[in-house]
Structure 1
């Protein structure tokens, strides 16, 4: 797929400004957006002491990204399926970046029979009665636990990545990171030049750039639509 232009090599300055704005912009209470704390809350989801368990702090961190984990899901994740989830997390590399997964490794690490897909299905309750965790919430939980390896899927970023649903999400992200066009190096440069969020992964920086860009596009479209309506009224 063709990446959005904001991630092209000649758009590094624009991308880093989006990252800086995401992590430093404050509201009327002089507070930064809660999403800026997603990676670092309570030491981070991949902290060695908690990397192989989903904790209450992980579910709190997920709420910083404007989603809520329903009560039945929280109980299921923290209690009912706790041991099964921990066993699967032990099989998912915590220190492997998605860009460094070889084509030969992809199936074992993120393919249909992988521990990652099995964990995804537990979070979604794909084989049972649903408990209210959709593809966006599931991706944010997994990205919290494996920030180097698992990208976030949401309604803003997905269309920019050419995705209609989450079915091929990991393959799509892996494809653009490993296609030899230098995206991982650009993400590193964007991150370093921004001077913010030292603990953010390359995937998180990519997500922030695309999310901010998508929000800008939506705002521009909305403004243009309002202007068109006003012009039509004036012409009546």
Structure 2
């Protein structure tokens, strides 16, 4: 199979035709709205309700609505987490302000600023007073909407793609015992490398998604689907 007939996500590959099908299905707004209206066992995907959620916060501001957006990606917050996010809001907004809205993940990696920017931002989860009820998955789903070009979504399926003990996984499992900020930055660096080394594949996959969808959002759909397969 030709190299460009597949796309790599961390330790795994998937055929481009299958990846394209995942992207087209996930970002089919008409289909998602129809499924939501009819009920039944089939569940709609979160586009566009998560992506266009009118939270009211500016680019570097986190409104209370922004804090609740992860529930649209099945990462509901408890009351403790909301209280703790409100306490962390000034630090999070400072970290967001340090990231230009137009900065992409691959550009930050090329400039050598990826690790510092993301470690500082997600470092709010580290330290002697961790935020009860808040973890990497939820925080990434809050912050991705504010910097969709720079901040990747993270969950257990993305972790399967990027963190493991095989030689193909870019992040070793021992790294998961490290603080959250550096760990997340290491996963993001692996994602940036995959995007930079496969520009043709990712440009094509992004082209079949709606115009308001970022490359990192498209990437997450492919990684989420691939990380959920039986051999992942």
Of the structure 1 ranges 29-38 and 145-154, higher mean CA displacement relative to structure 2 is found in: 29-38
Q: Pick from 187, 191, 206: which aligns with 2:206?
A: 191
Q: TM-score, normalised by structure 2?
A: 0.73
Residues 119 and 73 of structure 1: is their aligned pair in 2 closer, same or farther, counting only changes over 3 Å?
A: farther
Cα distance in 1 between the residues matched to 2:75 and 2:61: 20
- Measured on the aligned residues, the alpha-carbon RMSD in Å equals 2.7
Q: TM-score, normalised by structure 1?
A: 0.72
Q: Pick from 195, 215, 223: which aligns with 1:177?
A: 195
Residues 63 and 136 of structure 1: is their aligned pair in 2 closer, same or farther, counting only changes over 3 Å?
A: same
CA deviation map 1:183-207 (0-9, x unaligned):
2332221121x3x432111111011
**Corresponding residue of 1:83:** 90
The offset of 1:15, in angstroms, is 1.1
Equivalent pairs counted in the alignment come to 199
Q: Pick from 24, 29, 33: which aligns with 2:45?
A: 33
Q: Does 1:16 align with 2:36?
A: no
Q: Does 1:98 align with 2:101?
A: no
**Corresponding residue of 1:232:** none
Cα distance in 2 between the residues matched to 1:4 and 1:13: 15
Contact 1:12 1:186 in 2 (8 A): yes
- In structure 2, stretches of 5+ residues that fail to align are 1-8, 163-168
Larger radius of gyration: 1
Cα distance in 1 between the residues matched to 2:121 and 2:36: 39
Contact 1:13 1:190 in 2 (8 A): no
Contact 2:108 2:114 in 1 (8 A): no
Cα distance in 1 between the residues matched to 2:152 and 2:199: 14
Residues 204 and 169 of structure 1: is their aligned pair in 2 closer, same or farther, counting only changes over 3 Å?
A: same
CA deviation map 1:39-64 (0-9, x unaligned):
22117x9xxx6111122222232111
Which stretches of structure 1, 4 residues or more, deviate above 6 A after TM superposition?
none
More helix by share: 1
Residues 127 and 51 of structure 1: is their aligned pair in 2 closer, same or farther, counting only changes over 3 Å?
A: farther
